[in-house]
Amino acid sequence: MISSVFQSPKKIIYGEGSVEQVGIETKKYGSKVMIITGRSSSKKTGALDKIIDSLKSENLQYIVFDKVESDPSVDTVDLGTKIAKEEDVNVIIALGGGSPLDAAKAIGIMIKNPGNIVDYENKEPQVHGVPVIAVPTTAGTGSEVSRFIVITDTKRKIKMLIGGEALVPEVAILDGELTLMVPSDVTAATGMDALTHAIEAYISKKAQPATNVQAVSAISIISKNLAKAVQNGENIEARSNMLFAQMQAGFAFSNASVALVHAMSRPLGAYFGVPHGLANAILLPRVMEYNRAACPEKFKDIAEAMGENTEGLSLRDASNLAVKAVKDLYAETGLPTKLRDVGVKEEIIEDLAKDAIKSGSALVNPRKASLEDLIEIYKSIY
Ligand SMILES: [Fe+2]
C-alpha cells in the first residue's frame, strides 16, 4: 500500500482583522517573543505596529529582528539565531512575505538543532524548534502552512530547498487587510507563484487526494481573483480570496511537492536575483506546454478550474486550453515574458540547466526531463 501524508499547522485563523489575535495566540506558546520581518515594508504598511500592539495588550516581552533581505541568506539565519539564543526567545512571530517567513522558520529550528542551516540541505531537521506563529503579508509563497524553506547560500550561489515536519508553523494567521498595500507588480508575481504551486502540486508524481482538492480550488480562486487584485489593490475581497487561495496552494505543494518550474526558477534567483514569483511566472506557460502531453487529463481539469469550456473537445484540445488560460491570465498581470527582460545572461543557460536538473523538484515532474530539454526550454523563453 502506498500511503500519503498531509501535514499542516495546528491552527489557521483567516479573515480581515484577524491579526489582532496574534497576541492571544502567541501567549499560548511563550513569553519572550522575537518578531522576524523584512527591512522596511511591514513598518511602512503598519503591519508591524499591529503586531506590537497586540503583544503589548497581552503583556508579552518582544524584540524585533528586521534584517531579513529578499532571498534570505545563511548569514541572516546565523545572525538571527545568535540573537534569539542570547535573548532566550521562546516563541517567534514570522511577519512578511516569503523571505521573512522562511528566515523565521529557519531561525526557529536552528535555535534547537545542532550545526548550521547548511547542514540540513539534504537532511531533515529532527528536533522541533521554537514555535512559529506565521503572519503573511503577501499572497504567494504559502510558507505559513508549508514544510519547506528556501535559504540562499551566497558562497555556492545556490538556493537551498530545506524541508521537514519541524518547519511547519504552529499557527498561521491570514488577514487580507495586511496585503492591501502590496504593489501591483509584487501582487502579480507572488500570485503567479501561488498558481505555479497549485498547478505543479496537481501534476506532481506525489499528488494525493488531500492535495488535489486544495490545488484545484486554489487554481479556480486565483484565476478569478489575481487580475482583480493586480489591477485594483484596494479590492479587499480579491485580496482576501488570493490570500486564502495561496494558502491552499501552500498546502498542496507542501505535501505533494512542486516540480520542474521551481527546479528551473531557483537557479535564476541564485545567479541573477530574479524574484522567485517572477521567475516562476516566466517559466510556467512554457513548462506547461512541455508537460501537457504527459498528463492531459490533469491539464483538462486545470482548464476547467480556470473556467474554460471543454465540452465536446478532444482530450488534446481540452488540455491545451489549460496552457491558453494560464497565458491569458499572465497577460492580464502585465509581467515581463522573457528571461532577457529580467537580467538573465544567455551564456549561463547551460549552467542554469545543470543546477536545475539536480533539483529534487525535477524528479517528481510528470515528464522526465533531460539536460538538453532544460537548455531548450530556457533558450525558448530567452
Ligand atoms: Fe514558489
Q: What is the pLDDT of residue 260?
A: 98
Shared-domain flag, residues 267 and 365: yes
Q: Is residue 328 within 8 Å of residue 226, measured between CB atoms?
A: no
Q: What is the pLDDT of residue 239?
A: 98
Shared-domain flag, residues 189 and 172: no
CATH of the domain at 333: 1.20.1090.10
350 Cα–ligand 1 center, Å: 22
d(CA 69, CA 173): 22
In a domain, 154, yes or no: yes
Q: What is the pLDDT of residue 3?
A: 85
Shared-domain flag, residues 149 and 188: no
62 Cα–ligand 1 center, Å: 30
pLDDT in tens, 214-228: 999 999 999 999 999
Shared-domain flag, residues 221 and 338: yes
Shared-domain flag, residues 23 and 146: yes
Structural domain ending residue among the three candidates 158, 179, 200:
179
149 Cα–ligand 1 center, Å: 10
304 Cα–ligand 1 center, Å: 23
Shared-domain flag, residues 109 and 240: no
In a domain, 202, yes or no: yes
Shared-domain flag, residues 291 and 360: yes
Question: Side chain identity at 294, as an amino acid letter?
Answer: A
Structural domain ending residue among the three candidates 179, 199, 222:
179
pLDDT in tens, 326-339: 999 999 999 999 99
pLDDT band at 41 (very low <50, low <70, confident <90, very high): confident
Q: Can you give the residue range of the structural domain that contains 38?
A: 11-179
In a domain, 247, yes or no: yes
In a domain, 244, yes or no: yes
In a domain, 318, yes or no: yes
| 3-class SS of residue 294 | helix
CB atoms inside a 10 Å sphere around CB 243: 28
Shared-domain flag, residues 154 and 294: no
Shared-domain flag, residues 242 and 112: no
Residue with cell 482538492: 213
In a domain, 5, yes or no: no
CATH of the domain at 76: 3.40.50.1970
Helix (H), strand (E) at residue 242: helix 236-256
275 Cα–ligand 1 center, Å: 10
Helix (H), strand (E) at residue 155: none
In a domain, 72, yes or no: yes
Shared-domain flag, residues 136 and 212: no
Q: Is residue 71 within 8 Å of residue 273, measured between CB atoms?
A: yes
193 Cα–ligand 1 center, Å: 5
d(CA 258, CA 123): 18
Cα separation of the two ends of the chain:
44
Q: Is residue 135 within 8 Å of residue 15, measured between CB atoms?
A: no
In a domain, 80, yes or no: yes
59 Cα–ligand 1 center, Å: 36
Quick one: cell of 237?
475581497
Q: What is the pLDDT of residue 305?
A: 98
Shared-domain flag, residues 286 and 346: yes
200 Cα–ligand 1 center, Å: 10
Structural domain ending residue among the three candidates 155, 179, 203:
179
**How many domains in the chain?**
2
pLDDT in tens, 144-199: 999 999 999 989 888 898 999 999 999 999 999 999 999 999 999 999 999 999 99
Q: What is the pLDDT of residue 157?
A: 83
110 Cα–ligand 1 center, Å: 23
pLDDT band at 1 (very low <50, low <70, confident <90, very high): low
Shared-domain flag, residues 145 and 220: no
